[in-house]
Amino acid sequence: MNDTTELARKDQASVARREDDQLQHEVKLTPPVDIVEDSQSITLWVDLPGVTKDRLDVKVHDGNLYIEAEAVVPTRTGLRLQHAEIRQPHFARAFSLGPDFDASKIDANLKDGVLKLTIPRRDEARPRRIEVRAG
């Protein structure tokens, strides 16, 4: 598995024009990921603070795993925001999956801002013991 694409950098911003001609800066952040691999599977732990399940999109296409999310930073009613460097951060990350992994059996769980993805190895790619007979 390779981290093939850094979709965003913290210091780059793309500018989109809204209908009312105001400029809105959309910054895409590359979330940090821890990867643990064993003989049965590979597990990714993706840090996505402020992201809820309905704002998370995980998909596999053409052997690539794509993770996109939007964090919601709530502002309490009656309070005025004094300073915000990022109002609604967008996260994006992509990985290339090797042929040893079964993308149809990915297990995904989001808890406390951490996405856990477990991708099992295909049965034929798992190590197995060969019994040797004497004689």
- pTM listed for this prediction: 0.70
Return the CATH number of 2-74+86-125, one of 2.30.110.10, 3.40.220.10, 2.60.40.790, 3.40.50.2300: 2.60.40.790
88 contacts: CB under 8 Å, gap ≥ 6: 70, 71, 72, 73
pLDDT band at residue 91 using 50, 70 and 90 as cut-offs: very high
Structure tokens at 1: 């598995």
Structural contact between residues 59 and 69, judged by C-beta atoms closer than 8 angstroms: no
Per-domain residue ranges of the chain = 2-74+86-125
Rounded distance between C-alpha atoms, residue 46 and residue 30, angstroms: 10
Sort strands 114-120 and 90-96 into parallel, antiparallel or unpaired: unpaired
pLDDT digits (tens, 9 = 90+) for 25-84: 467 899 999 999 998 999 999 999 989 999 999 999 999 999 999 988 777 888 887 877
